[in-house]
Amino acid sequence: MAPAVVSAAPFLSATPRLGLTRSPIAPRFFATGLLPMKFARCFAALALPFFLAACGAPQSFRQATDLPAVAALPSGKAIVVLTVDLREQTLIRDVPHVGDVFFRKFDETYPRRAKDDYDFGVAGSVAADWRATFGKADDNRAPRVFAIDPGTYVIEKIKIGSTATAIGPGYDPRRERARFGSFTVRAGDIVNLGRLVIYMEWFDGYFAARIEDNSAAIHEFLSQTNPALDAAVQTTLLSVVPKIAFETGNGRF
């Protein structure tokens, strides 16, 4: 029997400050469907090497990223399972995007840490997105398993596409709450945080975020990759703010 789903919302803003920005729209042939698929794929095949060359190495995480199959929980750690789906709803269709979601632990060291210092996260891959176009494994939207220190974590940074980046750090010291989203784990916890779905609303200048209960999919995934975790995993959904303002000019590429 699937475990009960628990929703937690530590110090999340119920009415986030938006301060939305608007910006000129760059040509988005793939996202808007303006090019026929055959021409789009030909163009993408020629452009892919340039995109890959332009992509810098993703930020380094202080803790390990994906956790391989384990027989026992690492001592003093918690295990979290996270799935991220970054998208854009255009006038024509619903388009998957490449992007990053990074987390940082909120503790006494938080204010002193470097701007790009993250504890763990999902770094999107252009190559994985390219493979998914031809029906292969969609690594960007696959579940990820992390072993992390116990404590409270905030979503520190969200990047989608070529320019859109969430505004501000993940914690608002003036209001004393998370700007984007958060969760808390204890040592020994094995937690599925759900599927984080974020749509880039380009015209309005914000990300629309929601968390979905994907317990059934996670049980299927863990039964094949980490059977020891599958027997113990509990679903405690990540808390997210539904509207997150973004700025342009500091995106992934």
Q: How far apart are CA 116 and CA 96, in angstroms?
A: 25
- Assess contact for 59 and 104: CB atoms under 8 A: no
Q: What pLDDT score does 2 carry?
A: 45
CA angle 216, 124, 78 (to 5 degrees): 55
* Cα separations in angstroms, 162 against 97, 248, 249, 252: 10, 9, 8, 5
Is 18 contained in some domain?
Answer: no
Is 161 contained in some domain?
Answer: yes
Q: What would the pLDDT profile of 193-212 be if each residue is shown by its tens digit?
A: 999 999 998 888 899 999 99
Q: What pLDDT score does 71 carry?
A: 58
The H-assigned helical ranges of the chain are 29-32, 37-54, 126-133, 215-225, 227-230
- Tokens 């939207």, located at residue: 141
Domain of residue 121, residue span: 5-13+28-247
pTM reported for the whole predicted model = 0.74
Positions of the chain with pLDDT lower than 50, given as ranges: 1-10, 13-65, 251-253
Q: How far apart are CA 57 and CA 172, in angstroms?
A: 28
Q: What pLDDT score does 191 carry?
A: 98
Q: What pLDDT score does 250 carry?
A: 54
Question: What is the tally of structural domains in the chain?
Answer: 1
Is 62 contained in some domain?
Answer: yes
Q: What pLDDT score does 208 carry?
A: 96
Is 20 contained in some domain?
Answer: no
Q: What pLDDT score does 31 carry?
A: 36
Q: What pLDDT score does 133 carry?
A: 78
Q: What pLDDT score does 135 carry?
A: 78
Q: What pLDDT score does 173 carry?
A: 93
Is 65 contained in some domain?
Answer: yes
Is 19 contained in some domain?
Answer: no
Is 23 contained in some domain?
Answer: no
Is 252 contained in some domain?
Answer: no
Q: What pLDDT score does 48 carry?
A: 43
